[in-house]
Amino acid sequence: MVEGLAIGVLGGVALAWSMGHTRFGADGMPMLGLRVTPQHAGLLLVAGTLTLLACLGRRTALIFSTLTAIGWAGLTIVCALNVAHHAPGMLGFDPRDSFLYGALCAYNVTTSVLLALALFKSHRGLN
């Protein structure tokens, strides 16, 4: 839930700010140390919203956290490759984005493992 709120609010504020202030370049606008483009802000807003919806059940949260960890890992790799080639793309990739996506991936892997352990214990009657 914390992840969903944090990235959802960041995405929503960044999207509103970027729509109101279109004078920023193609690589995005600075926000909390990141370069945020409208597409990047939209991605964060959608991911945050889906994360909040996935909190409705343990099994749903486990599946969503696992899929999200894979998605953030893929985005980390794509971001790192674009940064290495100095091509920010539509999402305005920069090294700080790689760190953010890597941290989100690690967080979701940890969440998936903890949820899997909790589901295993409750399924086996160990709780």
* Domain positions in the chain: 2-124
- The pLDDT > 70 percentage for the chain reads 85
The contacts of residue 80 (CB under 8 Å, 6+ apart) are: 98
Euclidean distance between CA atoms 114 and 31, whole angstroms? 31
What does pLDDT average to over the chain?
82
Q: How far is CA 94 from the centre of its chain?
A: 15
Task: Identify the pLDDT of residue 30.
Answer: 62
CB 14 within 8 A of CB 41: yes
Start-to-end Cα distance in the chain: 23
Look up residue 24 and give its DSSP letter.
S
* Mean local confidence (pLDDT), 65-75: 93
Task: Identify the pLDDT of residue 117.
Answer: 92
- C-alpha distances out from residue 80 to 18, 60, 77, 121, Å: 24, 30, 5, 38
Euclidean distance between CA atoms 121 and 123, whole angstroms? 5
* Mean local confidence (pLDDT), 52-63: 87
Note if the pTM is more than 0.85: no
94 vs 8 pLDDT, higher one: 8
